[in-house]
């Protein structure tokens, strides 16, 4: 019996030999579209469609006390919701480990890019 990794490896090698990936050529991209301001009660929002994958992003702003260890900076909090409407793999209730990891990756990307000046907000 073959292992899952062996099956995946064989499948990937077949795709490479045939010059395709998921039915597309190596240099073919999925159709991409971005619609801004899609959530009327958010300070900013967008829906990104990448082929059949849809991602909805909303930004909410709130004024709050700075963290004690960074009294001269604002704060960023990210969260992700993977809804059952999107996939039968997702459940209602508290965030799943996948949702928590997604939020952490997005948070790290925003912070590492330095695109938000948290000291100018005060």
Q: In this predicted structure, what is the pLDDT of residue 20?
A: 73
Chain Cα centroid distance, residue 118: 22
The whole-model pTM stands at: 0.62
64, 70 Cβ separation under 8 angstroms? no
Average pLDDT score over residue span 95-111: 91
Average pLDDT score over residue span 92-101: 89
pLDDT, tens digit (0-9, with 9 covering 90-100), for 5-29 = 777 888 888 877 877 777 777 778 8
Sign of CA dihedral 110, 99, 45, 86: positive
DSSP states of 25-44: ETTPPPPEEEEES-STTSSE
Half-sphere exposure of 78 (CA within 13 A, CB side): 15
Distances (CA, A) of 98 to 15, 17, 50, 79, 83: 28, 32, 20, 11, 12
Choose between 82 and 24: higher pLDDT.
82
Average pLDDT over the chain reads 85
């Amino acid at each position: 019996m073959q292992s899952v990794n062996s099956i995946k490896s064989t499948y990937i090698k077949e795709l490479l030999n045939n010059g395709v990936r998921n039915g597309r050529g190596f240099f073919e991209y999925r159709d991409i579209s971005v619609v801004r301001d899609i959530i009327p009660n958010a300070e900013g929002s967008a829906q990104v469609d990448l082929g059949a994958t849809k991602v909805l992003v909303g930004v909410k702003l709130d004024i709050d006390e700075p963290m004690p260890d960074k009294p001269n900076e604002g704060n960023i909090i990210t969260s992700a919701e993977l809804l059952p409407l999107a996939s039968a793999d997702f459940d209602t209730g508290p965030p799943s480990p996948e949702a928590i990891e997604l939020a952490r990756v997005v948070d790290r990307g925003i912070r590492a890019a330095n695109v938000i000046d948290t000291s100018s907000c005060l």
